Structure 1
């Protein structure tokens, strides 16, 4: 399975995406997560806001700073943005992204040290710290450790009504805990049902795409084709031209696999 937050899809080729932040060990036994994760509260206005109101740093702002094909350059932009930030909570969220950029360079100890210094008081900062801790553990091959942090991030995001980050945490849980991947993915789709923000809805592309590659890895090419078609449709509705191109490539690869089976 591939780690494909929607911001990744715009700038990286599919093959590269299969490797980013996703160290999957088939021989690891993942303990099932049995307790349900509560969805964001129904009454939260953040479900239909331009973006989650509790996030100081809007996803579209981060898009301008991130290039997942060049983590080192992204780190430089994020460091500069954090240094220039006048709001403590915005700086805290930026620092979590610096840690993520370091993790993509396999500088795990330094990345954890950066997260240790994050002091923002807003719930979004705490959620992002847990998310990035989880990604660091997952990239280093510690899926069990990653699950703990992703679950913590999902619970905290749900409590704060931070739908964008809640879906991010669930999509990472589906990667780190593949035995429960379908359940985590279904919960993520349920959280998106009432959201009107197009940038948040773009998660649908990643969720369908990851489900497709999980099905491909399991040899369920027919199921994968359904997921890739859904990813293509959502890319056309919510995503970018690059996402549509990569969805077409995934469909072509899946159809080729189905042809090989014939």
Structure 2
């Protein structure tokens, strides 16, 4: 009976540890302090909200707060407290494994007029101990590339093996690079190196490239890590995107003596994506008179 209980405890520990590894390295953090503008005293129990999301928190007795597990992106953060004006800090950029510091100074509510502060500070990175660079999805869409892997070559630490289409980081081989998509390891099942799944450039929210000194949360890597976080749909509105790319239309072709194009693979690729809140609880059930909490 004792042996069975020990086996159960070990299995539970392995399961919890595996889940924690699965979600490592795909979110960021917002932290800061809320004080009274008139005297600098901390304001406990002030509400901190990330607008247009369901994320938020309250300050502690010292006026400090933090919000974790935030997907990378740009947000508007608002501080509220009874007796004080609401303050909104706009364009707060959250990146993978980084802390964005947003402090608030709340004025007494004399005239009921909300104040908006434009966020222009550089993200503080005291917890970053490794060499890295980031590429956002918007930057990849503006590049003349067919997929995120080609965008990696804009990093000076990376070169491509033309025969195997593998990325080499700082002299390492293709199999020494760890590829993560939304926290899950993805490797080519045939050769072991390279990205084992095709990701369209329209599906990328942010891509992080770590080239040295990475933390223990990233295993099975020797020369570099490519961490890709995919996009999520908005909870407030629907959106759709259609894109088309080719390598032969409006291009001057150079043919060999067999009649094959030297500078083109005659490829055409169309991508279509739709995102937004799911319609059942948002529209269908309310139309049928069913109240959704």
Q: TM-score, normalised by structure 2?
A: 0.22
Whichever structure has more helix as a proportion of its residues is 1
Larger Rg: 2
Whichever structure has more strand as a proportion of its residues is 2
